[in-house]
Structure 1
Amino acid sequence: MAISKTLADELEKRRKVALEGGGAKKAEDRHAKGRMTARERLDALFSAGSFQEFGMHAQHKTRHFGMENKSIPTDAVIAGTGFIDGRPVAAFSQDFGVAGGSLGEIHAKKICHALDSAGKAGMPVIGFNDSGGARIQEGVGALSAYGQVFYRNVQLSGVVPQISVIAGPCAGGAAYSPALTDFLIMTRENAQMFICGPEVIRAVTGQVTTMEEIGSAQAHASVSGNIHFIAENDTHAVEIVHRLLSFLPSNNMSDPPHRIEAELSVEDDPALDDILPEDPKLPYDCRKVIERLADDGDFMEVAADFAANIVVGFGRIGGVVVGFVSNQPTVKAGTLDIDASDKGARFVRFCNVFNIPIVTLVDVPGFLPGVNEERRGIIRHGAKMLFAYASATVPKITLIMRKAYGGAYLAMCSQDMGADRVLAWPTAEIAVMGAEGAVNILYRKELANAEDRTAKAKELADEYRAEFASPYLSAGMLFVSDVIQPRETKGAIALSLRALLSKRETRPPKKHGNIPL
């Protein structure tokens, strides 16, 4: 039976209402501020013509107080699936131009549908958060709706990658959904994320603060560590999503998008021989090492502004996608503190659940000493690194470049913590503690009797390094697989990765381990 003109016109009319959202005026206002509309974000995200929307005709006509019979096109959120570089991806985009993007029962059902679809089909899910929060008029129903979203975020954790883009306000309970996802991207302007705003904080505690101080992208990237990337605008945020997905598998049953060629190049890189300064006390930027190891120098750093004494991110070595974890000697001498431990452990666990091999670069003098660190729980937080590495079953390759002392040596994935290969440069020092500290403990009498205490301390420290911290000592005890020249590093790691791609490791049956949180 042919569709009558009346029915066809009705369909087009309804589609027009949904596509217009908050109307042309609100779209113009957003453009004037350099922001995209909810639909424009999805158009930029997906390959042209590939987005398939569901729930377009959801127009919740609520009977709740103050909104009787008010029509809310699409119920203020657009959801569906599309393709990015040929891969299916689910997404939702909250529409601030419609009822402030507020979340109600139908709004949440659409988000839950997107999350459910992602789980069933094994595809990543991207969420654009731009909402005034819970729809107050719907009362506890709106709170229940948030709970349904949170529950699905948790169920999908470790099943498919979840990426959140904070592109507008994300306040109160709404902030917990992005916090439950794997990666958060936040636009520098026009976006805020907080539980209690400045006015509430002042009213309850008397403390005076600003949105810049507690809810801005910079605050979350550098202080709280709640977000992983700052985007300059919506377009940049979409670019970050695309690049991030280029390193990630679609789900936990798939391999990452390796680019493995039939022939593996294992050529030496002489530039690595000159990376380390001659003085072992001088710092250097570990990113220079990572960029020499990563194919074409392509390294995507994650959470660059938070806990900068540890560097984490994605790259490829010999075409194999890897997660890099490295101490950063230019910040706090590369020591592990509370924030660095949290950052490193979280990244290692992400790599493990999504089958991404881990390459760990070690130059760590120890855990950061201090009363504040001890009182805030460095033991508990440092244990997260131990737990994360020990529980990871993906290929793990460790390179010791310089210092590897004490418990921090273990926390940076020693062989005892499950490393499949441990390589060391001739400059490596592997010991219970640094030479200077050991000398002060072991050779007190010799130092006390020396005419030139400084010269004697240096002599004893050199002897300690040679006898007790040499990489050859550890290699002789099979704690180190091989001692190699820096120039040989990329080839050695590439060969190890290729050999370990078929690694299978089973663990005792259990629900999950109890990580020290």
Structure 2
Amino acid sequence: MTLIDDVCRPPAEGDDSRGRAAGLRAVRRRAVHGPGTAATRAQHAKGKLTARERIALLLDEGSFCEMEQLRTHRATGFGLEDRRPYTDGVITGWGTVEGRTVFVYAHDFRIFGGALGEAHAAKIHKVMDKAIAAGAPLVSLNDGAGARIQEGVSALAGYGGIFQRNTRASGVIPQISVMLGPCAGGAAYSPALTDFVFMVRDVAQMFITGPDVVKAVTGEEITHDGLGGADVHARTSGVAHFVHEDEESCLADVRYLLSMLPQNNRENPPVVSTQDPPDRPCEALLDLVPVDGNRPYDVCRVIEEIVDDGEYVEVHEQWARNVVCALARLDGSVVGIVANQPQTLAGVLDIRASEKAARFVQMCDAFNIPIVTLLDVPGFLPGTDQEHGGVIRHGAKLLYAYCNATVPRISLILRKAYGGAYIVMDSQSIGADLTFAWPTNEIAVMGAEGAANVIFRRAIARAADPEAERARLVKEYRAQLMHPYHAAERGLVDDVIDPVDTRRVLVSSLRMLRTKQIGLPLRKHGNPPQ
């Protein structure tokens, strides 16, 4: 008779409940310990932690409450009838991160390679339903070999249930996927549906079809990491938002990110106390941004100077680097920052930058995070690759995201804002609540040189000294239509501010907008450009 049979047998005369409780504790110990030491050593040899070790790093010490730890599968055939381990390869439950409730599920690669079967999927469905009902974030710790082949279509249907719940939870509770091992085939769609994806270098891979299939179909030979490793998804595909060298630092940053997000879409992000004065002068900004619009600089240094204690979390740091998206705090309150990066492609908008910023704006709007936009944009990137790749469609995604956002929105023009890119980057005309500019700003359809060449082409050609005439007309155009106060005189900029006062102005404005409310027309949902 097994321990579980002993626990569940009918009580005999004189039985002591203490003995029954001891038996139950023994069964639970088996469930907690899981597979033998050999499987654990194999997991550690790959540079990976076990599922329970990962949960212990993620959650506050002693806070984890496990669900269905004694669950086993019901499948028969193909050798499964003799293997019914507890948990069925996934650990589910809830705990706290800095005292706030968080739901979690973690694949246990030591059991069936973390492959998903019917019971495994049912456990995940249950914890996802609980997270949605409780209005608390959901974190998935992914380390699984895909669908359990022995269970056939039942396993595939289990994935469908996960995707449906990912979609239902989207914009309702924060969803974070942490990739700590392989994730292949249909399993990869669940992380893609969540708000943030973390990957650990060298141990995590994501792809729809693996290297063997790629070689069979295309003849191309490629490694698992080369096809779907962390760096590929961080730099090339844009699937991964964050990449880490090890699991410990990765899970520590998941905790930090959770501290900047609300529990759900009905709450605001946590406010913390700060020793950084709200009216602190930003003297360094006077030297960080060159007056010459053609000289590059690192906008991240501007962000550091403005936000509380110089701390921020950059999202998608390695992808589409011509735009920066970051979460930070101003006066203790969380804000989302979107900024052109003159250090990369002169800060132009292109297909990838538009997609990156649009998704970030939508996330901020969904979770009640005010948006601060720092503009220094010369326009959209020209070229046949961009036009044929659909830069119009992708640029419209960013435009749609800003126009649709109801959270407080503040724009600050650091230097230049030209053409359609100026409009798309949360200009006042598309609904920014407040727009400020530094005295060095230039807002125009295009740069003065390009504008003069178009408007005065014939006059320049007829001139005795074309170059001198061009220089004179460029200076005249800039003086009349591009001087720093031109937009302010027409109400398109609320104020031209001293860079030193930037932090004070932003903090004061966000305090005023804290109670912003806006009514929207009743609709099922919009139809954003794809």
Give the aligned partner of residue 101 of structure 1: 114
Give the aligned partner of residue 299 of structure 1: 312
Deviation at 1:365, TM superposition (A): 0.6
Deviation at 1:278, TM superposition (A): 3.6
Change in 2 beyond 3 A, CA 1:201/1:94 = same
Structure 2 CA distance, aligned partners of 1:373 and 1:198? Answer: 29
Deviation at 1:187, TM superposition (A): 0.4
Structure 2 CA distance, aligned partners of 1:331 and 1:437? Answer: 22
- Selected match of 2:409 from 393, 396, 406: 396
Structure 2 CA distance, aligned partners of 1:153 and 1:226? Answer: 16
Assess if the C-alpha contact under 8 Å between 1:95 and 1:131 holds in 2: yes
Deviation at 1:299, TM superposition (A): 1.1
Q: Deviations over 1:205-259 (max 9, x none)?
A: 2233332322100000000000100011111111110111121111000011123
Give the aligned partner of residue 410 of structure 1: 423
Give the aligned partner of residue 49 of structure 2: 36
SS at match of 2:267: coil
- Selected match of 1:134 from 139, 147, 152: 147
Give the aligned partner of residue 39 of structure 2: 26
Assess if the C-alpha contact under 8 Å between 2:202 and 2:225 holds in 1: no
Give the aligned partner of residue 227 of structure 2: 214
Deviation at 1:141, TM superposition (A): 0.5
Residue identity opposite 2:176 in structure 1: I
Deviation at 1:273, TM superposition (A): 1.2
SS at match of 1:68: helix
Change in 2 beyond 3 A, CA 1:459/1:243 = farther
Residue identity opposite 1:119 in structure 2: I
Structure 2 CA distance, aligned partners of 1:167 and 1:150? Answer: 20
Structure 2 CA distance, aligned partners of 1:445 and 1:421? Answer: 40
Q: Deviations over 1:478-507 (max 9, x none)?
A: 110000111111111110000000000111
SS at match of 1:440: helix
Give the aligned partner of residue 170 of structure 2: 157
Structure 2 CA distance, aligned partners of 1:401 and 1:63? Answer: 66
Give the aligned partner of residue 383 of structure 2: 370
Please state if 1:234 is matched with 2:247: yes
Q: Within 5 Å, which residues of 2 pair with 1:200-279?
A: 200-259=213-272, 265-279=278-292
Deviation at 1:337, TM superposition (A): 0.5
Give the aligned partner of residue 6 of structure 2: none
Assess if the C-alpha contact under 8 Å between 1:337 and 1:368 holds in 2: yes
Assess if the C-alpha contact under 8 Å between 1:72 and 1:99 holds in 2: no
- Selected match of 1:114 from 106, 121, 127: 127
Structure 1 CA distance, aligned partners of 2:116 and 2:34? Answer: 15
Aligned-residue RMSD, C-alpha: 1.6
Deviation at 1:262, TM superposition (A): 12
Q: Deviations over 1:321-380 (max 9, x none)?
A: 100000001111111100000000000000001000000000111111000110010000
Residue identity opposite 2:284 in structure 1: A
Of the structure 1 ranges 448-457 and 219-228, higher mean CA displacement relative to structure 2 is found in 448-457
Deviation at 1:458, TM superposition (A): 3.2
Please state if 1:320 is matched with 2:326: no
Give the aligned partner of residue 382 of structure 1: 395
Assess if the C-alpha contact under 8 Å between 1:37 and 1:95 holds in 2: yes
Change in 2 beyond 3 A, CA 1:262/1:507 = farther
Residue identity opposite 1:292 in structure 2: E
Deviation at 1:42, TM superposition (A): 0.4
SS at match of 2:96: strand
Please state if 1:356 is matched with 2:342: no
Structure 2 CA distance, aligned partners of 1:27 and 1:136? Answer: 23
Q: Deviations over 1:46-77 (max 9, x none)?
A: 11111000010012242143322421320100
Unaligned runs of 5+ in 2: 1-10
Deviation at 1:263, TM superposition (A): 11
Assess if the C-alpha contact under 8 Å between 1:62 and 1:69 holds in 2: no
Structure 2 CA distance, aligned partners of 1:462 and 1:73? Answer: 77
Unaligned runs of 5+ in 1: none
SS at match of 1:163: strand
Residue identity opposite 2:400 in structure 1: F
Deviation at 1:452, TM superposition (A): 4.4
- Selected match of 1:282 from 278, 285, 295: 295
SS at match of 1:312: strand
Deviation at 1:132, TM superposition (A): 0.6
SS at match of 1:39: helix
Assess if the C-alpha contact under 8 Å between 1:321 and 1:357 holds in 2: yes
Structure 2 CA distance, aligned partners of 1:106 and 1:320? Answer: 42
Of the structure 1 ranges 58-67 and 428-437, higher mean CA displacement relative to structure 2 is found in 58-67
Structure 2 CA distance, aligned partners of 1:237 and 1:451? Answer: 66
Give the aligned partner of residue 13 of structure 1: 26
SS at match of 1:80: strand
Deviation at 1:5, TM superposition (A): 4.7
Q: Within 5 Å, which residues of 2 pair with 1:450-461?
A: 450-461=463-474
Residue identity opposite 2:372 in structure 1: V
Residue identity opposite 1:389 in structure 2: Y
Structure 2 CA distance, aligned partners of 1:74 and 1:252? Answer: 31
Deviation at 1:277, TM superposition (A): 1.6
Residue identity opposite 1:479 in structure 2: L
Of the structure 1 ranges 236-245 and 64-73, higher mean CA displacement relative to structure 2 is found in 64-73
Structure 2 CA distance, aligned partners of 1:96 and 1:362? Answer: 46
Please state if 1:466 is matched with 2:485: no
Structure 1 CA distance, aligned partners of 2:281 and 2:53? Answer: 47
Q: TM-score, normalised by structure 1?
A: 0.97
Structure 1 CA distance, aligned partners of 2:278 and 2:150? Answer: 63
* Count of residues in Structure 1 that have an aligned counterpart in Structure 2: 517
Structure 2 CA distance, aligned partners of 1:212 and 1:323? Answer: 32
Deviation at 1:455, TM superposition (A): 4.0
Of the structure 1 ranges 32-41 and 143-152, higher mean CA displacement relative to structure 2 is found in 32-41
Assess if the C-alpha contact under 8 Å between 2:307 and 2:330 holds in 1: yes
Deviation at 1:449, TM superposition (A): 3.1
Assess if the C-alpha contact under 8 Å between 2:299 and 2:340 holds in 1: yes
Structure 2 CA distance, aligned partners of 1:453 and 1:214? Answer: 55
SS at match of 1:270: coil
Please state if 1:77 is matched with 2:93: no
Assess if the C-alpha contact under 8 Å between 1:132 and 1:169 holds in 2: yes
SS at match of 1:390: helix
